[in-house]
């Protein structure tokens, strides 16, 4: 019997019987209290959390049969590149687009990341992380929009580890895992520190190397890191964040000596 024939002869009740249960922490607006709401969606092979949330949005009926507001969350690329769909899934911060239902224990609990302010439901405001990137000037400045011609070449050994750092998708998972990133701290977090290392290694970006290091030496900078190493364990891209932190700790020490002897740049 072919797969198509087997599908046709399968009992429809058996196909429809399997459900996936979700417990979702919801919040109507930034100032409202949070609450849990349960949903069940029909199981499909190769489902991920995003496809289940889409099903709930299509038919927002909770497990009790009550009409509910559609669940709000962020998403974009759906292939673990943009970093937008970060949330806490069964107690672990991760990307919901790569969280496969078959690999998750049920009921599946979805919560917003706690490090960032909740806007609504699973949607959070990651401005804190983006502000940190601004603080350390995590970009390559140019003089204008005109063609500057080919830039300086980067050594192959440096290019290889720089590429690993460039995989950062600002998902915020490393900040969520870091015990030093909280409401009582101004710590910029491991992502921004690693980006300083990336842009300081660039042949053009290193012209602003001292500015970035000075930012790391200021309030909320690298001295606020307690080296818990949670960040490197949870990074979905496997970025060597603790290696970057160690490297930038060394560079900021060198910068402080330069400043002391009047040769900061």
pLDDT for 263: 64
Domain count across the chain:
2
- The verdict on residue 5 lying in a domain is no
pLDDT for 204: 87
> Which stretches within the chain are classed as H helix?
3-9, 12-17, 49-58, 127-135, 156-165, 173-177, 190-201, 209-217, 230-234, 241-260
pLDDT for 264: 64
pLDDT for 146: 74
Query: What is the end-to-end Cα distance of the chain in Å, rounded?
Result: 75
- Based on the fold, state whether residues 90 and 162 are members of the same structural domain: no
- Based on the fold, state whether residues 131 and 222 are members of the same structural domain: yes
Q: What is the mean pLDDT of each run of 10 residues along the chain (265 residues)?
A: 44 61 97 97 95 96 95 94 96 96 96 97 97 95 76 87 96 96 95 97 92 96 94 96 97 93 72
Residue 252 and residue 213 in contact, taking contact as beta carbons nearer than 8 Å: yes
- Based on the fold, state whether residues 221 and 193 are members of the same structural domain: yes
- The verdict on residue 9 lying in a domain is no
- The verdict on residue 106 lying in a domain is yes
pLDDT for 15: 42
Extract the tokens encoding 129: 């992380």
DSSP annotation of 67 reads B
pLDDT for 265: 65
Using a 10 angstrom Cβ sphere, with 0-12 exposed, 13-18 middle and 19 or more buried, the burial of residue 72 is middle
3-state secondary structure at position 101:
helix
- The verdict on residue 4 lying in a domain is no
Token pair 């709930």: residue: 56
Residue 101 and residue 54 in contact, taking contact as beta carbons nearer than 8 Å: no
- Based on the fold, state whether residues 173 and 112 are members of the same structural domain: no
pLDDT for 261: 87
How far is 174 from 181, CA to CA, in rounded Å? 9
- Based on the fold, state whether residues 172 and 211 are members of the same structural domain: yes
- The verdict on residue 169 lying in a domain is yes
pLDDT for 8: 42
Range of the domain at 62: 17-124
**Ramachandran region of residue 242, left (φ > 0), alpha (ψ -120 to 50) or beta?**
alpha
pTM to 2 decimals? 0.86
CA dihedral sign of residues 181, 186, 192, 194:
negative
Q: Which residues are CB-contacts of 65 (< 8 A; sequence separation ≥ 6)?
A: none
CATH code for position 86 = 3.10.20.30
- Based on the fold, state whether residues 120 and 131 are members of the same structural domain: no
pLDDT for 65: 95
Residue 136 and residue 195 in contact, taking contact as beta carbons nearer than 8 Å: yes
Q: Of 127, 137, 130, which is closest to residue 218 (Cα–Cα)?
A: 137
- Based on the fold, state whether residues 90 and 116 are members of the same structural domain: yes
**Ramachandran region of residue 229, left (φ > 0), alpha (ψ -120 to 50) or beta?**
left
pLDDT for 262: 78
- Based on the fold, state whether residues 45 and 133 are members of the same structural domain: no
3-state secondary structure at position 61:
strand
Q: Which helix (H) or strand (E) holds 89?
A: strand 86-89
CATH code for position 137 = 1.10.1060.10
Task: List the 19-26 sheet strands across, edge first.
Answer: 35-42, 19-26, 108-111, 86-89, 92-95
DSSP annotation of 48 reads B
- Beta bridge pairs of residue 86: 95
- Based on the fold, state whether residues 108 and 156 are members of the same structural domain: no
- The verdict on residue 172 lying in a domain is yes
Q: Of 156, 162, 216, which is closest to residue 192 (Cα–Cα)?
A: 216
Q: Of 140, 152, 239, which is closest to residue 194 (Cα–Cα)?
A: 239
- Based on the fold, state whether residues 225 and 248 are members of the same structural domain: yes
- The verdict on residue 1 lying in a domain is no
- The verdict on residue 167 lying in a domain is yes
- Based on the fold, state whether residues 210 and 95 are members of the same structural domain: no
- Based on the fold, state whether residues 199 and 136 are members of the same structural domain: yes
């Amino acid at each position: 019997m072919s797969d198509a024939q087997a599908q046709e002869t399968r009992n429809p009740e058996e196909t429809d019987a399997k459900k996936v249960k979700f417990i979702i922490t919801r919040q109507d607006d930034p100032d409202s209290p949070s609450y849990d709401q349960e949903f069940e969606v029909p199981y499909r092979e190769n489902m991920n959390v995003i496809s289940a949330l889409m099903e709930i949005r299509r038919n927002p009926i909770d497990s009790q049969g009550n009409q509910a507001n559609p669940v709000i969350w962020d998403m974009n690329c759906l292939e673990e590149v943009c970093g937008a769909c970060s949330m806490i899934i069964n107690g672990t911060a991760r990307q919901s687009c790569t969280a496969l239902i078959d690999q998750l224990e049920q009921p599946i609990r979805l919560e917003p990341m706690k490090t960032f302010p909740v806007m609504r439901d699973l949607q959070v405001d990651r401005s804190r992380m983006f502000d940190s990137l601004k603080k350390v000037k995590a970009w390559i400045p140019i003089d204008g929009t005109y063609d500057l011609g080919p830039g300086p070449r980067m050594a192959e050994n440096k290019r290889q580890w720089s590429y690993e750092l460039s995989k950062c998708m600002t998902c915020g998972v490393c900040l969520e895992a870091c015990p030093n990133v909280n409401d009582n701290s101004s710590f910029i977090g491991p992502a921004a520190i690693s980006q300083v290392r990336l842009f300081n290694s660039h042949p053009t970006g290193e012209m602003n190397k001292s500015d970035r290091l000075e930012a790391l030496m200021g309030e909320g900078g690298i001295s606020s890191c307690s080296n818990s190493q949670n960040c490197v364990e949870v990074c979905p891209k496997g970025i060597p964040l603790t290696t970057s932190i160690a490297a930038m700790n060394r560079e900021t020490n060198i910068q402080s000596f330069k400043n002391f002897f009047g040769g900061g740049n």
